[in-house]
Amino acid sequence: MSSSFGKSFRVSTFGESHCKAVGAVVDGCPAGIKLTETDIQPQLTRRRPGQSKISTPRDEKDTVTILSGTENGITLGTPIAMMVLNEDQRPNDYKEMEFVPRPSHADFTYLMKYGVKAQSGGGRSSARETIGRVAAGALAEKILKEKHGIEIIAWVSSVGDIDCTQPNFDTINRQIIDANIVRCPDSNAAAEMESLILKVKDEKDSIGGIVSCVIRNVPAGWGEPVFDKLEALLAHAMLSLPASKGFEFGSGFAGVKMRGSEHNDPFVMKNGKLGTKTNFSGGIQGGISNGEHIYFRVAFKPPATIGLPQKTADMNGKEVILEAKGRHDPCVVPRAVPMVETMAALVLINA
Amino acid sequence: MSSSFGKSFRVSTFGESHCKAVGAVVDGCPAGIKLTETDIQPQLTRRRPGQSKISTPRDEKDTVTILSGTENGITLGTPIAMMVLNEDQRPNDYKEMEFVPRPSHADFTYLMKYGVKAQSGGGRSSARETIGRVAAGALAEKILKEKHGIEIIAWVSSVGDIDCTQPNFDTINRQIIDANIVRCPDSNAAAEMESLILKVKDEKDSIGGIVSCVIRNVPAGWGEPVFDKLEALLAHAMLSLPASKGFEFGSGFAGVKMRGSEHNDPFVMKNGKLGTKTNFSGGIQGGISNGEHIYFRVAFKPPATIGLPQKTADMNGKEVILEAKGRHDPCVVPRAVPMVETMAALVLINA
Amino acid sequence: MSSSFGKSFRVSTFGESHCKAVGAVVDGCPAGIKLTETDIQPQLTRRRPGQSKISTPRDEKDTVTILSGTENGITLGTPIAMMVLNEDQRPNDYKEMEFVPRPSHADFTYLMKYGVKAQSGGGRSSARETIGRVAAGALAEKILKEKHGIEIIAWVSSVGDIDCTQPNFDTINRQIIDANIVRCPDSNAAAEMESLILKVKDEKDSIGGIVSCVIRNVPAGWGEPVFDKLEALLAHAMLSLPASKGFEFGSGFAGVKMRGSEHNDPFVMKNGKLGTKTNFSGGIQGGISNGEHIYFRVAFKPPATIGLPQKTADMNGKEVILEAKGRHDPCVVPRAVPMVETMAALVLINA
Amino acid sequence: MSSSFGKSFRVSTFGESHCKAVGAVVDGCPAGIKLTETDIQPQLTRRRPGQSKISTPRDEKDTVTILSGTENGITLGTPIAMMVLNEDQRPNDYKEMEFVPRPSHADFTYLMKYGVKAQSGGGRSSARETIGRVAAGALAEKILKEKHGIEIIAWVSSVGDIDCTQPNFDTINRQIIDANIVRCPDSNAAAEMESLILKVKDEKDSIGGIVSCVIRNVPAGWGEPVFDKLEALLAHAMLSLPASKGFEFGSGFAGVKMRGSEHNDPFVMKNGKLGTKTNFSGGIQGGISNGEHIYFRVAFKPPATIGLPQKTADMNGKEVILEAKGRHDPCVVPRAVPMVETMAALVLINA
């Protein structure tokens, strides 16, 4: 009962791994926007499995169809329903796992909550659930870009203990980021990350990473004070992504070591407008955007499904050795990049 | 328009620094609970300003009155309204700042959003706004404790670059934590932290810190998948606190460096129940509690209001030197401890 | 858990008959509006008990205090909390009824739902609960009037089988309506209604009535299609008032007997703007205002609490004779007039 | 932005007359319910156009497909997406009307609100929008029936000035109601109603009617006090149906003429349980069900689209003669019967 997100631009997603289709309905899209499937497809393609040698071999085209809400390629102001048919369903891959809850996976908690362990129910906790989000996010991004010039750019900034150098926040773009399959704008770090992911994959293991994101051109004055601060909604959105473990914006955890006198961002004139000299605030003060770049980072854990044998217990507590045969990602962050952008777009369009 | 939190146990807060009263209305409190002001007051007292030499000298008793929702000390199932009168209002203290937006404060963003700069409006972004939350949270905590045995314990784990050793999550309690004014359970670290805060205070500067929190006895199966995952709601709640900059649960940002094979929490029998051997998951998998301790950390920045002269600009971009004369905390984390507990309680009672 | 109303202008009410205070918190009031208690008090005074010989003798001044959200008489954009202290509490009056559910009252259903029968809980179903609504509605009306010129005028159109002649919708105002204690603009009908109410009161019985309402100057284009049509929200609001039994707008139930060719409202030019010649639509088409007068009627049943002995049964089914000693209204419609206006204002300000 | 309904069982509908598909996503359907298309189709078939000589000749099969939320015919607790493809689209039929707002239709108000006049946008205000509701309602009905034994039965009680005799509320069922194409359980009245509708159709005119509804076996204690009273939610739901003009429950508008002493429903023992002797309350007291039959009536106006020439004005105020060529219902009530049942089911499943 939490498959919808947002208030004024409300997204309701549906679909599991093994049903007919996955998708989303967007209620609150303005009328008069040009919209066809070609606006939505690119982010779905960046998200799709099987896109490179470092992602899961599960191969799906993830082709989107717009069911409602447009006429002659123009939005009507009515709900936009978007659907992706499920093609490649191999429920048998997971059969062996049926009676043993996979460690650090949602198998156990879903069973505790819903009392049933259906493959597709678990599938709702899989990355496949994010297709509806990404479709809705692509629509949100288009509106933000066309109406406000807002640009949302995410990239892989860490894989395991390999960190990338910080890119130029003013110029970083998706072309630079998609130049390699890791989606890291620092090509040296990217090469190291790729090697690490392949090594981990060979070892039937997995590894975590960090996705960083900058949002440009958000006008000052977006967001709300008190409970629904912009940073609170961003944190909510990012921690709702599968496998995420942490969120920080601006100075983040590093900021706790700083003095107020160095952390405060003094006001200065910049290009004829009042701005701040530094940006430890990450573009948000008191829950409201201040016109500077919004900047945040999201931590993702190593995927729980691994090929290595794991000593664990079944539901009766009996010790068993579990060896996953399903197809899975050794590292989620390259495919998480469009998901982070998506959730950022859904937060902003509701702000 | 975001002064309410929660769905089934809905809290609506009100009040600024300079009006008659601050407080909260709780809609959705069950009937039949014993409730008087003495259940609510302790957390307000832990939150109140002027409680020690390391907090702001602004001195308020913050005495709570229950206006509605109880009869003969028993809740009726109707809304509980709680009120704290504002006693110590010295708007003049802030007069000097009236035309210069304080760096890294909400002055500028409020002006951008609302078009007016009232002292009390800004006061809504001050820590005084959190009184209503803490009152509601104390009520939530009482219900969680009595109905489910749930215990929520937060403490100061870092101030600046001083970290405390990790306490025993099974036994840590508020008595241990309140043994010193820093609210850090490691007495050596606490002494160092106190010295650092006093030094920073003397220097008219400020410093950041981290509050850690453990929640015991949450049954497996609480929370929701997809958008309103338990960790997402916790992140939302914590990032809605003034001055917070980051949130991580379980392994958090450190988890990105781990392999899946070490990060996965294998199942084992514990006291006759299925549990996990390690707890890198932080008690939550796929958005739903797994019965282990829920554990998370929240980063707080150094307070923006400092006595040191700051070079900044007024609204016309003219360079000015700003020197705050108001009373403020040199470090928020000791008083943030009950706020973190409060927000955790409000998330859980809605789960 | 349903003590709040509205989305953008959200009202949360609190308080029962026998607690310290009743009131409301309004979240979403715009900044910069002039507001003091004198703007709120008049509607509360029109609603208050003991105002005339045809209302309950329970006498309360119902003086409102604004607790938060204003500074120097100007709204800040923060929540407005308003409170009325309970003065005249005589719980003993109701003692006799304690173990016998009053026929057609909420005693039985509250007991079924909440499992407790507290006097104040029942008091939440009493007209006293509406004080918070009326305070919030008075604020909403003020904003609607000042920002949009919208006027909301309700009056008593029927008491028992006495109907008033239809007033001129363009000129009817509160001064005309308050010229008599029945609040009926047709003085002949008003005299008859007054006699009937006094007769019914003498007989220790009660009688029903109808409140009609016209809303002037709502611009075309307010409201939403599909589930939250303007008429649906008005119906929701009106049926949430204690003792209401029905709602109709425009042609209403009488419209079912008409042909489309006579019921359709043809477009014509009126004062240089496109309008409709007739107004069977009641100012709303497809859920959205069309610029004509919005017009609707609300049916209220005879109050359930009567002095006449009633043959009924206690919770064990044993036959008993019930004779109410409490103070009650013989007819609710004169006091329902400001409540209908209130709920209309709360719907419109959210539209 | 109001295409969703309900809180715990949340329905989001999508689709217009001229897009690819219409449908609904239901968030909050419990896991473990048997569900296939055959559970949903019957109510859609009762709703579909072209079903008899008294409904619109627009002929659509309205075959539903379940896209997600089930596995092997069992619900998973995840969102249920349901879709009906649009087959018969003849936008040209409406071409003539494109520049003249149809009297008493949503053309004018949609133009005022959204600034565009798309055929499909207007189509969102057409009866086609209700397909998604009916699909979701059929699911809700199934759950209410299986879990609680609740039965919802609606019928046509008036067409124009022809009223049916009141059926036995204990035994009335859909078989009796569907025995004639008018869906009126009184066969004499049904024959007269059919003649009247055919006469009106011949005359290219339209006529209004009333749908009555009884809900059996709702346990005492469902619903909420204050703003979201059960009757308020029913009124909201019914007035959200296209062409509805009024709602009354229990004694309704007729109740205003009664004395409290006759209107009050005294308690008596019935089959070993406390019940009421009469049911002027319509099964609801203070917003909460009392265990008696819930009973209400909904007024529907004559359809606005008629074949008769109408003198009206275009957007410039120029007088024109409008003659509709589209296919339309001469009377909506026979097809409104499943819609009223649907909305009642959606209210109850959220109660």
pLDDT digits (tens, 9 = 90+) for D158-180: 999 999 999 999 999 999 999 99
CA separation for the pair C83, C21 (Å, rounded): 6
A343 CA: distance to closest CA in chain D (Å): 20
Count of all residues that appear for chain A in the document:
351
Residue B93 — φ and ψ, nearest 5°?
-50, -35
More confident residue, C50 or A298: A298
More confident residue, A58 or A120: A58
Pick from D103, D129, D299: CB nearest C266? D103
CA separation for the pair B125, B127 (Å, rounded): 7
More confident residue, C152 or B322: C152
Residue numbers in chain B where pLDDT is lower than 70: 1, 88-99, 116-126, 326-327
Contact C248 D247 (CB under 8 A): yes
Closest residue in chain B to residue A322, using alpha carbons only: B266
Residue A71 reports pLDDT greater than 50? yes
Range of the domain at D330: 4-349
pLDDT mean across residues, chain C: 90
CA separation for the pair C76, C78 (Å, rounded): 5
Closest residue in chain D to residue A79, using alpha carbons only: D14
Confidence of residue D88 (pLDDT cuts 50, 70, 90): low
Q: Which residue has the tokens 């028993």?
A: B74
Identity of residue A75 = T
CA separation for the pair A79, A69 (Å, rounded): 5
A166 CA: distance to closest CA in chain D (Å): 40
Q: What is the mean pLDDT of residues A65-75?
A: 93
Q: What angle do CA D220, C125, C112 make, to 5 degrees?
A: 20
Q: Which chains touch C (3 or more CB pairs under 8 A)?
A: B, D
Pick from C2, C237, C245: CB nearest D248? C245
Residue A341 reports pLDDT greater than 80? yes
Closest residue in chain D to residue A129, using alpha carbons only: D78
Confidence of residue A65 (pLDDT cuts 50, 70, 90): very high
Can you give the pLDDT at residue C96? 45
Cα torsion C302, C307, C309, C313: sign: positive
Q: Which residues of B touch A207 (CB under 8 A)?
A: 258-260
Q: Which residues of A touch B285 (CB under 8 A)?
A: 104-106, 108-109
* Nearest Cα residue to B276 out of B266, B288, B286, B287: B266
Contact between residue C297 and residue C211 where contact means Cβ atoms under 8 Å apart:
yes
Pick from A239, A267, A290: CB nearest B235? A239
pLDDT mean across residues, chain D: 90
* Nearest Cα residue to A134 out of A190, A208, A60, A205: A60
Q: Which residues of A touch D80 (CB under 8 A)?
A: 14
Tell me whether strands C319-322 and B273-276 are parallel, antiparallel or unpaired: unpaired
Contact D224 C1 (CB under 8 A): yes
Q: Which chains touch B (3 or more CB pairs under 8 A)?
A: A, C
Contact between residue B206 and residue B330 where contact means Cβ atoms under 8 Å apart:
yes
Q: Kindly report, residue by residue over A221-274, the tens digit of the pLDDT.
A: 999 889 999 999 999 999 999 999 999 999 999 999 999 999 999 999 988 889
Can you give the pLDDT at residue A275? 93
Tell me whether strands C151-159 and C162-163 are parallel, antiparallel or unpaired: antiparallel
Can you give the pLDDT at residue A92? 44
Which distant-in-sequence residues (6+ apart) come within 8 Å of D104 by Cβ? Answer: C260, C263, C264, C265, C280, C281, C285, D301, D304
How many CB pairs below 8 Å do chains A and D form together? Answer: 156
Residue A202 reports pLDDT greater than 60? yes
Confidence of residue D2 (pLDDT cuts 50, 70, 90): confident
Q: Is A242 exposed, middle or buried (0-12, 13-18, 19+ CB in 10 A)?
A: buried
Q: Kindly report, residue by residue over A119-173, the tens digit of the pLDDT.
A: 444 555 567 889 999 999 999 999 999 999 999 999 999 999 999 999 999 999 9
A78 CA: distance to closest CA in chain B (Å): 23
Q: What is the mean pLDDT of residues D321-349?
A: 91
Residue A40 reports pLDDT greater than 70? yes
Reported pTM: 0.94
CA separation for the pair A24, A11 (Å, rounded): 7
* Nearest Cα residue to C132 out of B18, B40, B69: B69
Residue D311 reports pLDDT greater than 60? yes
Contact C236 D233 (CB under 8 A): yes
Mutate to test the interface with C, among B5, B19, B117 (most CBs of C within 10 A): B19
Identity of residue D193 = M
Q: Which residues of A touch B134 (CB under 8 A)?
A: none
Q: What is the mean pLDDT of residues A112-117?
A: 74
The CATH number assigned to the domain holding B289 equals: 3.60.150.10
What tokens does D323 get? 């003659």
Contact C121 B21 (CB under 8 A): no
Can you give the pLDDT at residue A246? 98
A72 CA: distance to closest CA in chain B (Å): 32
Mutate to test the interface with C, among B26, B67, B83 (most CBs of C within 10 A): B67
ipTM of the complex: 0.95
Pick from D22, D69, D76: CB nearest A68? D22
Residue A152 — φ and ψ, nearest 5°?
-120, 120
Residue A1 reports pLDDT greater than 60? no
Q: Kindly report, residue by residue over D36-82, the tens digit of the pLDDT.
A: 999 999 999 999 888 888 887 777 889 999 999 998 899 988 999 99
Q: Kindly report, residue by residue over C231-257, the tens digit of the pLDDT.
A: 999 999 999 999 999 999 999 999 999
Can you give the pLDDT at residue A271? 85
CA separation for the pair A127, A107 (Å, rounded): 14
Strand partners, D71: D74
Can you give the pLDDT at residue B96? 45
Pick from A23, A31, A121: CB nearest D78? A121
Q: Kindly report, residue by residue over D181-220, the tens digit of the pLDDT.
A: 999 999 999 999 999 999 999 999 999 999 999 999 999 9
Confidence of residue A61 (pLDDT cuts 50, 70, 90): confident
Mutate to test the interface with C, among D5, D227, D346 (most CBs of C within 10 A): D227
Percent of chain C having pLDDT more than 70? 93
How many CB pairs below 8 Å do chains B and C form together? Answer: 156
Percent of chain D having pLDDT more than 70? 93
Contact between residue B153 and residue B172 where contact means Cβ atoms under 8 Å apart:
yes
Pick from A225, A232, A301: CB nearest B263? A301
Contact A253 B263 (CB under 8 A): no
Q: Kindly report, residue by residue over D91-149, the tens digit of the pLDDT.
A: 544 454 456 888 988 888 888 887 766 544 455 656 788 999 999 999 999 999 999 99
